[in-house]
Structure formats: structure tokens, C-alpha cells
């Protein structure tokens, strides 16, 4: 296999190279202590540079509560331990500005990887797009409530009826003040943004100097057209909102709602173009074959089922330190998963919580309850 050769930044001056220096993402699930990891991210390749603007200066919202719910407290006793392959592929996706497809059995932490990346690199709230069989590209980009806008226009027209006009005439506005009347559709132009809601993908592509993290969950459920449509957006890093583009000569800047809670952003000339391509994590259960053209534009990471040490770390992140009974339960859980069908880590987490909580089941109920909790996930029965 070829070595790094001339691509080694120290090759020209014989400087000492730290072999772990390129690991911006270390897979611990904890923020870096030196500097936010994303601040160390080098410039993108020339073919992945985008020029969106003007940049949005207001930082996106944080969501440490969601990080804690999914990953455990940031100061947990046992840090997450990622494999070398996971670290390499996540960092390659970061440097190349390419989406990362994450596959593996259900319940092994594929979607949690997006939250782990965001917390560790000091990024913000994770934008999440849950895919269904009815999902379309437009749904991920934006939604336009045309019916709501028509209803408000009708209500506004009713309020401007003869009765209201008679009451307002003595005030002398606007004609009595010598001002020209407003255009009939001026209000509609001003508030059209109230009826446009950017989706998770659309919000992730807003022009920011720091990328957002976007989780596209369960791409297996997508229609084949959606997978193909995503290619163009991933390559171009932009999209248009036709409802705004049509009125750009009269209203070039429109404030719209985003996928963040109470979030808004200004769209210029109906075009949204990113400045920093988002960190895109796409999860798949491996239930379908994705088109080669799509795979060619992404990196591919297959997560293996967790081992005893990784399961122990998951339990310790959410619960207190373990005891000998926990070790036995992890051993039994792995044995059941190997012989009785696929099990998920959250099934083990649920059973350990019930076992250790003071209000949990008594011993007479425990065995039967554990059998129900460890039901196999492949639809082939209870796992015997």
C-alpha cells in the first residue's frame, strides 16, 4: 500500500508528524479540552468549496439536554470508545465535506453518532430528518403553507370592508395625509415568509461559517426518487424556493422560519446556498441497496454490534457504575444476541434500569420480564 508521500505536510522539511493530528473527531463523546474541534478543520478541497452568503452571524441553538439524553452526561465516568475505523471515516468525511452513510443492525448507535460528532466538535443542535416512504426532497428543504396564506388574505380583505373603512376614514390615512395608497398585495409580500418553514436539510444549507450537523435517519425507507434527488443538493450545496424567487424583484429579502425552535433566517432572492457544507450523517439498516451514484458521493461506515466493553460504557454513561450482576447481564445479553437474533443496546439499558431502580420488579417477575424485554428485533419471534 502506498504511503502518504508528498501529501505528508512535513515531507518537505522533515518535521515530526503527529500520526493522530488529523483526528479532529476522537469518538469519545466529550468536547475537546484544548479548542473546539471544528476550529481545527482545514479548508475544504477546491471542488467542495461553496460561496453562500451573506453569512448568518447569530449562532444556532445548543441542545445539551438532547446530547445528555442520547450520550449521557458530558462528565460521565467512562468515555465512549470508538473504533479506529469509525474515527478514520468520520474524519475523512469531515475533511472531504462528504456525507457519511452509517449502516448496521438496529439499535447499535447509528443515529447517536451524529450527536457524538456535534458535541465533541463543539457544534450546535443536531438537525434531524426522519425518512418515511412518503418523504420528498421538498419536505426536507422547505414547506409552503399556501392555504394558510390564502385564508389570512381572505380575513384581511374582510377586515378592510366598508365598516372598517368608515371607521378609519376620520383619521385621514393614508389618502387624507396626501400619501399614495399601498399596493393591494403589499401586505402579502411582506408576510409571505410567515408561511415558509425550512426543513432540516434546508436549514442545514443556510450560509454559516461553521457547519451544522444533519442526521438523515433510515434512508432505507426512502423512495428511489428521493435518493436520486439528494445527489443534486449534495453536489451543488444550494436550492431555490420558487415562491420567493418569483417576487425577488419586489421583495429580495424575506425572513422565513427554520427547523430550529423559534428560529428564523433571511433568504435572498429565493436562493439558499451554503458557505460551510453541513456534516451529514445518513443512517441505514442495510435493508436496500443504494444506487452506485449515491454511494460514490458518500463515505460508508458499517458499525459492528457492540462488544462487552462498549455495552458497559453505554450503561455507565446513563446509570451508575456497574457491579458483578451487571457484568453477568451483559454476558447473557451478548449470548442471547448471538444465538437468539438481533438485540439492541437500548434493550439492555432498559433492563438494567429496571433491575437497579428501587421501584423495579421483584425476583418472581424478573425472568419473565427479561424475556419480554430481550425480544429479538428481526420479526422472527421472541428470541426464545
Provide the pLDDT for residue 316.
Answer: 83
Q: Does residue 165 have a pLDDT over 50? A: no
Provide the pLDDT for residue 177.
Answer: 44
Residue 334's H or E segment, with its range, is helix 324-340
Q: Does residue 44 have a pLDDT over 80? A: yes
> Contact at 8 Å (CB) between 187 and 159?
no
d(CA 298, CA 381): 35
d(CA 59, CA 210): 9
Of 308 and 183, the structure prediction assigns the larger pLDDT to: 308
162 confidence band (pLDDT: 50, 70, 90): low
Provide the pLDDT for residue 74.
Answer: 82
310 confidence band (pLDDT: 50, 70, 90): confident
How are beta strands 196-198 and 238-240 bridged, if at all? unpaired
Of 381 and 302, the structure prediction assigns the larger pLDDT to: 302
Least reliable range by pLDDT among 54-58, 68-72, 103-107, 341-345: 341-345
- 3-state class (DSSP) for residue 361: coil
Least reliable range by pLDDT among 12-26, 42-56, 121-135: 12-26
Provide the pLDDT for residue 302.
Answer: 94
Provide the pLDDT for residue 85.
Answer: 93
Provide the pLDDT for residue 35.
Answer: 66
166 confidence band (pLDDT: 50, 70, 90): very low
Residues 16-43, mean pLDDT to the nearest whole number = 75
pTM of the model: 0.83
Highest mean pLDDT among 51-60, 306-315, 348-357: 51-60
DSSP string, 129-164: EE--TT--HHHHHEEE-HHHHHHHHHHHHHHTSHHH
188 confidence band (pLDDT: 50, 70, 90): low
d(CA 241, CA 141): 9
Provide the pLDDT for residue 3.
Answer: 58
Provide the pLDDT for residue 181.
Answer: 43
Q: Does residue 54 have a pLDDT over 90? A: yes
pLDDT tens digits, one per residue of 62-112: 999 999 888 888 876 556 778 899 999 999 999 999 999 999 888 788 999
Angle at 274 (CA atoms; ends 271, 277), nearest 5 degrees? 150
Amino acid at each position: 500500500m502506498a504511503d502518504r508521500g508528498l501529501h505528508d505536510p512535513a515531507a518537505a522539511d522533515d518535521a515530526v508528524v503527529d500520526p493522530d493530528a488529523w483526528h479532529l473527531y476522537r469518538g469519545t463523546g466529550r468536547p475537546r479540552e484544548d479548542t473546539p474541534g471544528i476550529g481545527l478543520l482545514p479548508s475544504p478541497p477546491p471542488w467542495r468549496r461553496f460561496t453562500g452568503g451573506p453569512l448568518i452571524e447569530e449562532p444556532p441553538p445548543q441542545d445539551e439536554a438532547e446530547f445528555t439524553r442520547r450520550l449521557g452526561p458530558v462528565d460521565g465516568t467512562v468515555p465512549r470508545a470508538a473504533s479506529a475505523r469509525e474515527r478514520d471515516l468520520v474524519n475523512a468525511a469531515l475533511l472531504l465535506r462528504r456525507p457519511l452513510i452509517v449502516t448496521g443492525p438496529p439499535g447499535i448507535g447509528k443515529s447517536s453518532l451524529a450527536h457524538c460528532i456535534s458535541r465533541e466538535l463543539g457544534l450546535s443542535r443536531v438537525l434531524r430528518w426522519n425518512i418515511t416512504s412518503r418523504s420528498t426532497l421538498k419536505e426536507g428543504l422547505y414547506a409552503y403553507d399556501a392555504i394558510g396564506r390564502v385564508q389570512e388574505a381572505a380575513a384581511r380583505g374582510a377586515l378592510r370592508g366598508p365598516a372598517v373603512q368608515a371607521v378609519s376614514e376620520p383619521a385621514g390615512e393614508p389618502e387624507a395625509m396626501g400619501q399614495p395608497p399601498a399596493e393591494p398585495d403589499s401586505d402579502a409580500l411582506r408576510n409571505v415568509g410567515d408561511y415558509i418553514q425550512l426543513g432540516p436539510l434546508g436549514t442545514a444549507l443556510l450560509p454559516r461559517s461553521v457547519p451544522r450537523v444533519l442526521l438523515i435517519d433510515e434512508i432505507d425507507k426512502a423512495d428511489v426518487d428521493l435518493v436520486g434527488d439528494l445527489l443534486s443538493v449534495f453536489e451543488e450545496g444550494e436550492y431555490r424556493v420558487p415562491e420567493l424567487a418569483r417576487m425577488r424583484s419586489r421583495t429580495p429579502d424575506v425572513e422565513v422560519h427554520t427547523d430550529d425552535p423559534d428560529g428564523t433566517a433571511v433568504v435572498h432572492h429565493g436562493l439558499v446556498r451554503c458557505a460551510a457544507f453541513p456534516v451529514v450523517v445518513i443512517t441505514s439498516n442495510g435493508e436496500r441497496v443504494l444506487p452506485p451514484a449515491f454511494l460514490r458521493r458518500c463515505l460508508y461506515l458499517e458499525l459492528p454490534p457492540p462488544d462487552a466493553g462498549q455495552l458497559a460504557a453505554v450503561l455507565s454513561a446513563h446509570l451508575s457504575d456497574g457491579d458483578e450482576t451487571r457484568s453477568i447481564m451483559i454476558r447473557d445479553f451478548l449470548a442471547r444476541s448471538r444465538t437468539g437474533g438481533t438485540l439492541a443496546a437500548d434493550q439492555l439499558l432498559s433492563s438494567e434500569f429496571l433491575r437497579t431502580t428501587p421501584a423495579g420488579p421483584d425476583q418472581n417477575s424478573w425472568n419473565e420480564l427479561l424475556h419480554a424485554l430481550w425480544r429479538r428485533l428481526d420479526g422472527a419471534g421472541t428470541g426464545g
